Structure 1
Amino acid sequence: MNIAVVFAGGSGKRMNTVAKPKQFLELNSKPIIVYTLEIFDNLPEIDGIIIVCIEDWIPYMHKLIRKFELSKILEVVPGGATGQDSIYNGLVAAKKYGKDESVVLIHDGVRPLINEKAILDNIKMTIETGNCITCIPATETFVVRQDDGSLQIPTRANSLIARAPQSFRLGDIFSAHEKARAENKHDFIDSCTMMSYYGHKLSTIIGPMENIKITTPTDFFVFRAIEEVHENQQIFGF
């Protein structure tokens, strides 16, 4: 079984929105979160979707599910105090439906430009190796500050930028979360950081460069521009 856990728990402070969290901002009368969910919902290889949502917005999320006829939503669960805690809540829900060997794809609700190929590549790699981190090549130089104040500069050829989805066997990622909670660790920045911390060897695929996380107004403008290109391609064939 392949289950998507889509995280839609952010408040959108960097987006400077007042009326709505960023995942509910609309483009062409469709919220960002729906663009994201439709990609997973329309893919035959995805068996079910868990949505992790800001608790006060769960009723609105259910309205969107009905309005846009999203058919694979298994549950909408509330987020936690941190991003890590929110993902844990989603995994707890996923455990009701999947088995330890099921593939769980953890994805940001505000990454609506992921494509089907990357999702299928995630599933294939996770079945083969136990996990898969969607990445893009580093296009600029990284500078890492060491504890002594010196700088380390990794070669760009060996550097990747981790994005989403980040996919795992359900039993493995749930076990890592349980370990973190037992150790009172709640601040892992993402799932691949947690899995690396607990000794898992990680596999990667290269995903689409346009798979940005919509965090700032500039990101939203980029999303709008790319969607316009997609619409023109469908209408005019270029």
Structure 2
Amino acid sequence: MNIAVVFAGGSGMRMHTKARPKQFLELNGKPIIIYTLELFDNHPMIDSIVVACIEDWIPFLEKMLRKFEINKVVKIVPGGKTGQESIYNGLCAAEVVADGKDATVLIHDGVRPLITENTIKDNIKKVEECGSCITCIPATETFIVKKENETLEIPSRSDSLIARAPQSFRLVDIMNAHRKAIAEGHNDFIDSCTMMSHYGYKLGTIIGPIENIKITTPADFFVFRAMIKVHEDQQIFGL
């Protein structure tokens, strides 16, 4: 069983939106989160979708799911105070959906709508191979790591990857990691791969599309709008 866990619990402070959170901003009359959910809803290898959403916006999301005929969302749960908590809430719902069956979960940002069908397929296959999959892109600029003693370390660009999403795991493994973190009072993991690495799990990787951005700022939204126009032109003109 393959379950997408999409978290959309953030308020989008960096987007500077006032009327609605960033995941519900519209392009061509469709909210960003619906663009994201359609990718999983249309994918033949995805069985179910769970969404962690800002609680006050759950009725609006339910309305949008009906409007745009998103059929695989089986549960919407309230998001948490942090991204880690929102993901955990979604994973708990996925655990109920799995009902004791072996399951792979693909953890994805609600505001990351530019992945591809192959990205989803490659995540599932990599988890089958080694138990986890972190979608990455190659590093295109130089990283500088600042050490405690003020020295700088510059890793080789050819050996560096940038982690994006989906980040996918066996459900039992990621649940074990989350419950260890809760027991230890560790609530500030920046993402799932950081948590899994901390607890000693092996991480597999795939290379995803370079346009797989997280829409966090107005500039990101403009890129998203441009990419949607490119995709529309490809469909119309066969470019």
| TM-score normalised by the chain length of structure 2 | 0.98
Q: SS where residue 97 of structure 1 aligns? A: helix
Instruction: Report the alpha carbon displacement of residue 201 of structure 1 after superposing the two structures with TM.
Output: 1.2
Verify the 8 A CA contact 1:144 1:151 in the aligned structure 2. yes
Counterparts in 2 of 1:100 and 1:200: CA distance versus 1, 3 Å: farther
Verify the 8 A CA contact 1:39 1:116 in the aligned structure 2. yes
User: 1:104-152 CA deviation, whole Å, 9 max, x = no partner?
Assistant: 0000000000110010000000011100000000000000000111111
Residue 160 (str. 1) matches residue 141 (str. 2): no
2:66 alignment counterpart: 66
2:193 alignment counterpart: 192
Instruction: Report the alpha carbon displacement of residue 185 of structure 1 after superposing the two structures with TM.
Output: 0.6
User: 1:8-60 CA deviation, whole Å, 9 max, x = no partner?
Assistant: 11101100000010000000000000000001000111000000000110111
2:82 alignment counterpart: 82
1:46 alignment counterpart: 46
Residue 133 (str. 1) matches residue 134 (str. 2): yes
Which amino acid is 1:26 matched to? Answer: E
User: 1:184-209 CA deviation, whole Å, 9 max, x = no partner?
Assistant: 01100000000000001100000000
Q: Counterparts of 1:38 and 1:10 in 2: how far apart (Å)?
A: 20
Q: Please give the residue correspondences for 1:183-222 in structure 2 after superposition, counting only pairs within 5 Å.
A: 183-222=184-223
User: 1:180-233 CA deviation, whole Å, 9 max, x = no partner?
Assistant: 000001100000000000001100000000000000000000000011011011
Verify the 8 A CA contact 1:100 1:172 in the aligned structure 2. no
Verify the 8 A CA contact 1:23 1:109 in the aligned structure 2. yes
Q: Which 4+ stretches in 1 moved above 3 angstroms?
A: none
Instruction: Report the alpha carbon displacement of residue 83 of structure 1 after superposing the two structures with TM.
Output: 0.5
What is the identity percentage for the equivalent residue pairs of Structure 1 and Structure 2? Answer: 69
> Relative to structure 2, which stretch is displaced further, 153-162 or 92-101?
92-101
Which amino acid is 2:145 matched to? Answer: V
1:18 alignment counterpart: 18
Verify the 8 A CA contact 1:100 1:169 in the aligned structure 2. no
Q: Counterparts of 2:157 and 2:40 in 1: how far apart (Å)?
A: 32
Which amino acid is 2:52 matched to? Answer: V
1:182 alignment counterpart: 183
Which amino acid is 2:90 matched to? Answer: G
Instruction: Report the alpha carbon displacement of residue 101 of structure 1 after superposing the two structures with TM.
Output: 2.9
| TM-score normalised by the chain length of structure 1 | 0.99
Q: SS where residue 215 of structure 2 aligns? A: coil
Q: SS where residue 148 of structure 1 aligns? A: coil
Which amino acid is 2:154 matched to? Answer: I
Q: Which runs of 5+ in 1 are unaligned?
A: none
Q: SS where residue 66 of structure 1 aligns? A: helix
Which amino acid is 1:3 matched to? Answer: I
2:120 alignment counterpart: 119
Q: Counterparts of 1:156 and 1:208 in 2: how far apart (Å)?
A: 18
Q: SS where residue 52 of structure 1 aligns? A: strand
1:234 alignment counterpart: 235
Q: Counterparts of 2:28 and 2:124 in 1: how far apart (Å)?
A: 31
Instruction: Report the alpha carbon displacement of residue 100 of structure 1 after superposing the two structures with TM.
Output: 6.1
Residue 56 (str. 1) matches residue 56 (str. 2): yes
Instruction: Report the alpha carbon displacement of residue 81 of structure 1 after superposing the two structures with TM.
Output: 1.2
Q: SS where residue 149 of structure 2 aligns? A: coil
Q: Counterparts of 1:97 and 1:236 in 2: how far apart (Å)?
A: 41
1:143 alignment counterpart: 144
1:8 alignment counterpart: 8
Q: Counterparts of 1:93 and 1:217 in 2: how far apart (Å)?
A: 32
Q: Which runs of 5+ in 2 are unaligned?
A: none
1:171 alignment counterpart: 172
